[in-house]
Amino acid sequence: MSLGAKVANQLPYLRRYARALTGSQSAGDSFVRATLEAALADDDLRATIGEGRAQLYHAFNRVWSTAYVDTADRSSGSLGQHEAAAQERLAAMTPANRQALLLTTLEDFSIDDAAYIMDREPEDVESLVQDAIAEIDRESATSVLIIEDEPLISMQLEDLVRSLGHDVCGMAATRTQALEIVQREQPGLVLADIQLADGSSGLDAVDDILKIGSVPVIFITAYPERLLTGNRPEPTYLITKPFQEQTVRTAISQALFFGSSRPLG
């Protein structure tokens, strides 16, 4: 397999990670692009990123770490609401904590791989993950709308959301039900599947909701390739089914950290 093909296979997931890390699709994609440009200019780096997924993420980490301060200092005047909120909150949160948790949960790296990616010792990464979990526990409670047509998964998500101290304002199996709930309730977060019970789309349901007001959204789907195409604005928070509960917990924390957790209205 050629180097280009190897990198292309991992690129959608690196872009997902970059968006979750920076809180912005545009900023995340900029760092991914800078990583690839650095590899093109450096033969050794180009050879390294072809050795495996961890090596690609390690190269990305080098670029992100050296440019992080400049990104944090950008003016938020031209950014959207969620991007501006992300930049403000990034300055207040230890980025290493968030990075360690993302690598070991959303990206499913081992502690040892995460340590290699971050250029740290494994015990340091373990400590960072525990610190990040403590930050999750301190998240303020919000109201969550669950859009999911599988009853067992819907109940699992409900139990998980409530265990984190959040409320569930409604559970919808169709686009129509989701819109009806939002018109009478005020969710601060949406968990949405893509393929719904009556053949309607969770993407369309979320579009309906965002026309009413701004709210962070986490997509949970068995078909991530339908969202990671580059043809439309891509979600920052995307979880693949079957999911691990810790992955959902992390995504909820990230979404509330970066996006506005205020209710619609």
Topology (CATH) of 139-258:
Rossmann fold (3.40.50)
Residue 127 clears pLDDT 70, i.e. is over it: yes
Topology (CATH) of 3-136:
Butyryl-CoA Dehydrogenase, subunit A; domain 3 (1.20.140)
CA angle, residues 140, 141, 144, in degrees to nearest 5: 135
Q: How high is the pLDDT of residue 23? A: 73
Q: Do the domains 3-136 and 139-258 sit in the same CATH topology, yes or no?
A: no
Question: Over the chain, what is the mean pLDDT?
Answer: 83
Q: Is 126 exposed, middle or buried (0-12, 13-18, 19+ CB in 10 A)?
A: middle
Q: How high is the pLDDT of residue 228? A: 65
Q: Confirm if 19 and 25 have CB atoms less than 8 A apart.
A: yes
Which run of H or of E encompasses 142? none
Structure tokens at 4: 């280009």
pLDDT tens figures, 33-85 = 999 999 999 999 998 998 999 999 999 999 998 875 344 444 444 445 555 55
Structure tokens at 259: 């996006």
pLDDT tens figures, 156-201 = 999 999 998 899 999 999 999 999 999 999 899 999 998 898 888 8
Q: Confirm if 191 and 218 have CB atoms less than 8 A apart.
A: yes
Q: Where residue 254 falls among pLDDT bands split at 50, 70, 90?
A: confident
CA angle, residues 20, 214, 19, in degrees to nearest 5: 10
What is the bridge-based pairing of β-strands 143-147 and 237-240?
A: unpaired
pLDDT tens figures, 95-123 = 888 899 889 887 889 999 999 999 999 99
Q: How high is the pLDDT of residue 31? A: 93
Q: How high is the pLDDT of residue 105? A: 81
Residue with tokens 């991914």: 32
Q: Where residue 206 falls among pLDDT bands split at 50, 70, 90?
A: very high
User: What is d(CA 72, CA 142) in angstroms, rounded to the nearest whole number?
Assistant: 27
Domain parsing of the chain, residue ranges:
3-136, 139-258
Structure tokens at 82: 């969620």
